């Protein structure tokens, strides 16, 4: 396997990115449902099946045709109160979210792009069942921009605003269960030019785009809210699209590994061409030959209804099917991926790895003798076996033959799935380019010059500028400032600081980030907390209605009773602030209850007594007041 210090310039590496970022808008893109992901049981479900039809030009999308042949059922789960008929494709879409359009334009201008004058919504064919309608609604927003990186300028081809797909819950070869709570969440799709020429530049470009998205304060946070697709090609190779690179650090590894994969496939193709290799389209039934095998895999397959073991010959592939092309992946893995995806079989065996897996040397010898009686073979040839239900076996072997023919030519164009170790696996053919057509249910939106200018005049600060300002203006330490700048609550933070200028910004920032994380870890759902709730909390602190020690309990109260005001929450939770006289009386009682310790230790009893005072007064009095009163009373006792 080729694995050395790579010269990416000589290899002609070209990389382009597609960044998909969910927006934290108040409503979905084409309906009024909240952008809320739920984990509780859905209220119902519907079922759909993909069918293909010809376009106006008489063409059928190749990727859609392959997907439809699987005959899979798509089951869509919904909620009565947070999803609607738009998600189920039973009602036309509503007008697009103005908040999402504004954010898309802000990102466009921060990336030096030219926005269109009129926003047209298009339908893009979706073949995997992840949309109830069979298409995804996409609005073209802007084009021809750029970002700067340490390695050079990267062009931004386009920015689109589209609806996110359904969320996959589970599935197998015959069905997939989706949930429509994610369907319709506004999603920005940013596509770069193939200007990226090395893996580090790929990671830096994605990071820069991510910082621009966060600058708007509208980027959703958390696993799955941002996804990167990486398009990679080298000289004499082919463009592949690696889907779903969620980890920023994985981008470098995916690019590097794909380069190595393509280099090895090119070398294998050269060898195959020198050998005049050929995939023989003759599927041979070897069930009788191996019916008494002790291989657990083969025996299990033969127990299935109409279970069969069949084989094909790959002339000239001997020793190459088992050749490693990436760490832990071989050419045989590429063949197996096709068989698994297209036919739903568990995998394959090939003579480069046999005898193994319970198949004996004697059985391999008999196999080769039998195959040779039908098709003349040599040591330079490979035999591939598949065992499963009859139809699945035939479909799998035909897919393997197709992939073998592609191996003779070089590197096939494919859409591939990014794996956690930086490798990729086959997902589907690279989709055709003519997959979009006009959306007839949504009128075009004309962008007035005055509206455009107002957005340009009020663009969000870039994170690096905001970070310096937060440290200086709000006196946040660098760590807290970094957290706040990256938070999608950043705009709320600044509004709260402005509205409650007697409250320290550090307390506001800590409440919005650390305190909410603490409450979430305890199992509480904080999604329903609004700016109005936080306004009431900080107004209560400013008016001395409560103390900062009570913030956690007050927020829990608002989660439980979201429509109540602060006074009611304080009453329900028993958190009303005590007067100074009441605080002094309670502390005096605590001292008298522990007078023996006070008499023996004097001021040394301060720590123990402070703990008991806080246990009694937490949330009812400010900690500093408790500390001061206790200290003064102990000093009085000591001076008597």
Q: Map out the domains of the chain as residue ranges.
A: 12-239, 277-429, 461-573, 580-639
* pLDDT above 60 for 61: yes
For residue 180, give the nearest of 86, 97, 51, 73 by alpha carbon: 86
Model pLDDT, residue 374: 96
245 and 254 Cβ atoms separated by less than 8 Å: yes
Percent of the chain at pLDDT > 90 equals 71
Would you state the pLDDT for residue 60?
Answer: 65
pLDDT at 302: 96
Burial of 449 (0-12, 13-18, 19+ CB in 10 A): exposed
Listed residue (458, 476, 460) closest to 468, CA to CA: 476
Q: Which of 307, 283, 294, 301 is nearest to 371 (CA)?
A: 283
Give the list of residues 6+ apart from residue 294 with CB closer than 8 angstroms, or none. Answer: 358, 360
Mean pLDDT, residues 398-413: 97
Q: Encode 599-612: b = buried (16+ Cβ within 10 Å), e = exposed.
A: eeeeeebbeebbee
State the average pLDDT over residues 451-467. 93
Report pTM: 0.78
- Residues contacting residue 10 through CB under 8 Å, at least 6 positions apart: none
Number of Cβ within 10 Å of residue 361's Cβ equals: 10
* Residue 495 CB contacts under 8 Å (≥ 6 apart), including other chains: 531
Mean pLDDT (the chain, rounded): 91
* CA distance linking residue 363 with residue 361, whole number of Å: 5
Count Cβ atoms within 10 A of the Cβ of residue 353 and give its class: 0-12 exposed, 13-18 middle, 19 or more buried.
middle
Sign for the pseudo-dihedral over CA of 555, 559, 565, 568? negative
Helices and strands counted in the chain (H then E)? 22, 24
Interstrand relation of 73-78 and 175-179 (parallel, antiparallel or unpaired): parallel
Q: What pLDDT, on a 0 to 100 scale, did the predictor assign at position 433?
A: 57
357: left (phi over 0), alpha (psi -120 to 50) or beta: left
Looking at residue 56, what is its pLDDT?
60
In percent, the amount of the chain with pLDDT more than 70 equals: 94
Q: How far apart are CA 478 and CA 371, in angstroms?
A: 71
User: How do residues 348-394 score in pLDDT, each as one tens digit?
Assistant: 999 999 999 999 999 999 999 999 999 999 999 999 999 999 999 99
Say whether pLDDT at 434 is over 60: no
CB under 8 Å to 53, separation ≥6 — which residues? 60
Quick one: pLDDT at residue 634? 81
Q: What are 278-325's pLDDT values in tens digits?
A: 999 999 999 999 999 999 999 999 999 999 999 999 999 999 999 999
Strand 114-115 with 324-326, pairing: unpaired
pLDDT at position 34 is 95
Cβ–Cβ under 8 Å, residues 3 and 325: no
Q: Which of 317, 299, 293 lies closest to 400 in space, CA to CA?
A: 317
Cα atoms in the Cβ-side hemisphere of radius 13 Å centred on 620: 20
Distance between CA 629 and CA 27 in Å, rounded? Answer: 50
Give the DSSP letter of residue 164. -
Q: What is the mean pLDDT of residues 397-426?
A: 96
Total Cβ atoms within 10 A of residue 358? 13
Q: In this structure, is the dihedral angle defined by the CA atoms of residues 29, 30, 32 and 35, taken in order, positive or negative? A: negative
CA–CA separation, 455 and 427 (whole Å): 40
Q: Each residue of 152-182: pLDDT tens digit?
A: 999 999 999 999 999 999 988 788 999 999 9
Lookup: tokens for 4: 């050395």
pLDDT of residue 635: 82
Outline where DSSP puts E strands in 23-65. 44-49
Do 376 and 436 form a contact (C-beta atoms < 8 A)?
no
- From CA 348, how far away is CA 439, in angstroms rounded? 44
Cα separation, 257 vs 199, whole angstroms: 10
pLDDT given for residue 432 in this prediction: 61
Q: What CATH code would you report for 277-429?
A: 3.30.1360.30
Instruction: Please name the residues in contact with 106: beta carbons below 8 A apart, sequence gap of 6 or more.
Output: 216, 455, 459, 460
| Helices marked H in 344-375 | 361-372
E-strand ranges in 234-295 read: 240-245, 278-279, 284-285
Closest to 160 in 3D by CA, of 104, 216, 103: 104
- Per-residue confidence band for 184, with pLDDT thresholds at 50, 70 and 90: very high
How far is the C-alpha of 605 from the C-alpha of 616, rounded, in Å? 17
Separation between Cα atoms, residue 484 and residue 509, nearest integer Å:
7
- How many residues are listed for the chain in this entry? 640
pLDDT in tens, 491-520: 899 999 999 999 999 999 999 999 999 999
CATH number belonging to domain 580-639: 1.10.10
Residue located via tokens 């380069």: 259
Q: What is the pLDDT of residues 507-554, one digit of tens each?
A: 999 999 999 999 999 999 998 899 999 999 999 888 878 888 889 989
Interatomic CA distance for residues 205 and 196, integer angstroms: 8
Cα 395 to the center of its chain, rounded Å: 32
């Amino acid at each position: 396997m080729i694995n050395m210090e790579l010269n990416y310039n000589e290899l002609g590496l070209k990389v382009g990115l597609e960044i998909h970022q969910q927006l934290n808008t108040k409503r979905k893109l084409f309906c009024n449902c909240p952008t809320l992901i739920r984990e509780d049981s859905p209220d119902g479900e519907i079922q759909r099946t993909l069918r293909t039809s010809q376009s106006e030009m008489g063409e059928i999308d190749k990727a859609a045709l392959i997907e439809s042949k699987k005959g899979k059922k798509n089951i869509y789960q919904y909620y009565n109160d947070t999803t609607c008929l738009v998600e189920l494709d039973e009602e036309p879409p509503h007008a697009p979210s103005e908040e999402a359009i504004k954010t898309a334009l802000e990102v466009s201008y921060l990336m030096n792009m030219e926005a269109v004058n009129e926003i047209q919504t298009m339908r893009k064919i979706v073949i995997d069942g992840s949309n109830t309608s069979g298409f995804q609604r996409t609005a073209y927003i802007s084009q021809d921009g750029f970002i700067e990186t340490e390695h050079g300028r990267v062009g931004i081809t386009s920015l689109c605003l589209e609806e996110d797909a359904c969320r996959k819950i589970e599935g197998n070869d015959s069905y997939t269960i989706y949930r429509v709570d994610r369907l319709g969440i506004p999603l920005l799709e940013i596509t770069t030019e193939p200007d990226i020429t090395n893996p580090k530049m790929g990671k830096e470009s994605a990071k820069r785009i991510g910082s621009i998205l966060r600058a708007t304060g509208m980027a959703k946070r958390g696993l799955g809210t941002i996804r990167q697709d990486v398009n990679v090609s080298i000289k004499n190779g082919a463009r592949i699209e690696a889907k779903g690179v969620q980890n920023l650090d994985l981008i470098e590894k995916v690019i590097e590994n794909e380069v190595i994969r393509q280099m090895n496939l090119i070398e294998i193709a050269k060898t195959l061409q020198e050998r005049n290799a050929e995939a023989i389209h003759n599927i041979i039934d070897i069930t009788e030959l191996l019916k008494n095998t002790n291989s657990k895999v083969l025996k299990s397959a033969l127990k299935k209804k109409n279970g069969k073991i069949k084989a094909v010959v790959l002339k000239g592939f001997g020793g190459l099917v088992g050749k490693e092309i990436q760490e832990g992946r071989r050419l045989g893995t590429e063949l197996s991926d096709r068989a698994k995806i297209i036919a739903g079989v568990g995998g394959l065996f090939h003579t480069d790895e046999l005898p193994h897996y319970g198949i004996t040397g004697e059985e391999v010898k008999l196999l080769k003798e039998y195959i040779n009686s039908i098709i003349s073979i040599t040591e330079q040839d490979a035999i591939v076996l598949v065992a499963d239900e009859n139809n699945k076996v035939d479909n799998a072997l035909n897919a393997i033959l197709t992939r073998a023919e592609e191996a003779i030519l070089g590197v096939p164009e494919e859409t591939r799935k990014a794996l956690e170790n930086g490798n990729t696996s086959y997902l589907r053919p690279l989709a055709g380019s003519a997959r979009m057509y006009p959306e007839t249910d949504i009128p075009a939106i004309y962008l007035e010059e005055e509206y455009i200018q107002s957005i340009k005049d009020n663009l969000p600060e870039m994170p690096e500028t905001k970070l310096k300002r937060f440290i200086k203006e709000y006196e946040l330490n660098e760590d807290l400032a970094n957290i706040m700048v990256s938070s999608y609550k950043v705009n709320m933070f600044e509004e709260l600081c402005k509205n409650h200028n007697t409250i320290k910004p550090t307390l506001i920032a800590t409440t919005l980030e650390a305190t909410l994380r603490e409450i979430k870890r305890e199992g509480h759902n904080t999604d329903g907390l609004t700016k109005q709730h936080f306004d009431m909390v900080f107004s209560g602190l400013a008016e001395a209605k409560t103390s900062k020690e009570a913030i956690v309990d007050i927020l829990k109260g608002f989660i439980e009773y979201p429509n109540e005001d602060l006074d009611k929450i304080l009453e329900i939770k028993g958190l009303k602030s005590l007067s100074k006289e009441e605080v002094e009386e309670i502390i005096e009682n605590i001292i008298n209850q522990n007078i023996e310790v006070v008499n023996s230790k004097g001021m040394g009893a301060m720590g123990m007594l402070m703990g008991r005072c806080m246990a009694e007064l937490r949330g009812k009095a400010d900690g500093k007041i408790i500390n001061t009163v206790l200290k003064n009373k102990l000093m009085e006792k000591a001076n008597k």
